[in-house]
Amino acid sequence: MGKLGVGIAAGCAVASCAIAAVLVGKRVRSRRKWSGVVRVVREMEEGCETSVGRLRQVVDAMAVEMHAGLASEGGSKLKMLLTFVDALPDGSEKGTYYALDLGGTNFRVLRVKLGGKGHGIVEKTVDRQPIPQNLMTGRSEELFDFIASSLKKFVESEGEDSEFTAGKRRELGFTFSFPVKQTSVSSGILIKWTKGFSIRDMVGKDVSECLRIALARIGLNMRVAALINDSVGTLAVGHHHDADTVAAIIIGTGTNACYVERTDAIIKSQGLLTSSVGMVVNMEWGNFWSSHLPRTSYDIELDAESPNPNDQGFEKMISGMYLGEIVRRVVLKMLEEADLLESDSTKLSVPFILRTPLMAAMHEDESPNLREVSRIFEDVLEIPDVPLKFRRLVVKVCDTVTRRAARLAAAGIVGILKKIGRDGSGGISEGKVRGDESKMRRTVITIEGGLYTSYGAFREHLHEAVAEILGEDVAPYVILKVSEDGSGIGAALVAASHSQENSVNI
């Protein structure tokens, strides 16, 4: 071979080595990037760990905080608010009752006809109306005059065959989903507005009294028999269908819980005039906190950037408002590690753009190539061509966040059971029906909210965790049931159980 041939061969060899070096370098960098993505996911899984041992620590912490909250005002992160609801419907209620559900930009009026034992809810009529924007920021008199007028029109639609034609007084359950300090079963002082309302002259006033005055102005003979929130209404619906129901949980956009407590265990209410042995306590458990909760850097950042830092810590880990946002933060970190973002400006950088229903859709995508995950990335987040292996890790993150949320909610439920002696922690004999030493007492928890009712994976993780924490001897005696429309039907049922005709104490 001539010198020219040798030179060409040598040049080709050098070029080949250079190309090979570039390719090897790219592969090495690609492996490093991918290992970075995997590391993010692995660290998230470790940070969200919810072993049964850890969950039982959360159970104990919940029970301790409940005791503290019942002992004194401000004694716990759990407010443990008295509802003064000392009678729950048991299915024997008869007659027609009304409900007013005010909790956002719409309100509902309901008429519920109860048929007594064996008949339950015979008939239900519902009317939904938007609240004009100007009434949400105007004067309290204007808002309640509008509501009272709507109530009157609803009542007038009953016709001549109404049981109230002889002048019999109608009774109303009022679900008012804003912060209220309850002063009796039918009255409470508004602490502050939320959800876009800002009626200054209303703060500090009795909500029911404002409605009563408005009803009197238009001549509608209706008594506010109960002022409640949606968790109490959910408990009422559950107890109406099943007398073994002892607690209600809301797991939707937000989360809360209430349960039936022994009156003598509510130390901060000593001196309260009541002949009942039990009362419903509104826990406001979204504010629960314990060092045993598995908190990650993503949770810390979300809390710090929220409008209410260091508040509602439990809610920020388990409710539908926040799960999608936690996943968004993790996925954004994964994309940065993978170098899949074309610029710093991406829709995924927008807080709360990945709503929990979208997260659930990705989590429950069972197609072989995860088409729904790909669609959401492309159509919603405007990030096309995300590799399949990356999409699989996104599904894993969705499961990690959902599993942690559901298992923590389960621990909260068992915490309530522990507080009232229904978790079997004192041995299999604890919680037995008197006079029957061979049988555990059946205990029903009623649950409402879209995160639980509509998200199958969440529900499965929650049920699994409750069974794991309680153990095989106790778990069969604890039944979780879906409830519907606690804020509507529930309010009417509480009105019925506290009416002058049906009231029977717990």
For residue 281, what are the CA distances in angstroms to 9, 61, 270? 87, 18, 15
For residue 416, what are the CA distances in angstroms to 52, 246, 407, 410, 466? 17, 10, 14, 10, 12
Task: Judge whether 297 counts as a catalytic residue.
Answer: no
Q: Is 351 left (phi over 0), alpha (psi -120 to 50) or beta?
A: beta
The catalytic position among 56, 111, 140, 177 is 177
Task: Judge whether 295 counts as a catalytic residue.
Answer: no
The catalytic position among 56, 108, 212, 403 is 108
Report CA dihedral (76, 77, 81, 87) to the nearest 10 degrees: -90
Three-state DSSP at 192 gives: coil
> Is the separation of the CB atoms in 288 and 78 below 8 Å?
yes
Of the candidates 365, 359, 361, 360, the one whose C-alpha atom is nearest the C-alpha of residue 388 is: 365
Length of the chain: 506
Task: Judge whether 86 counts as a catalytic residue.
Answer: no
> Is the separation of the CB atoms in 100 and 127 below 8 Å?
no
According to DSSP, residue 432 is labeled: B
Cα 96 to Cα 496: distance, rounded to the nearest angstrom: 8
Biggest alpha carbon distance in the chain? 121
Q: Which residues contact residue 222 at a Cβ distance below 8 angstroms, ignoring those fewer than 6 apart?
A: 98, 151, 155, 169, 170, 171, 172, 215
Question: Mind telling me the catalytic residues?
Answer: 108, 177, 230
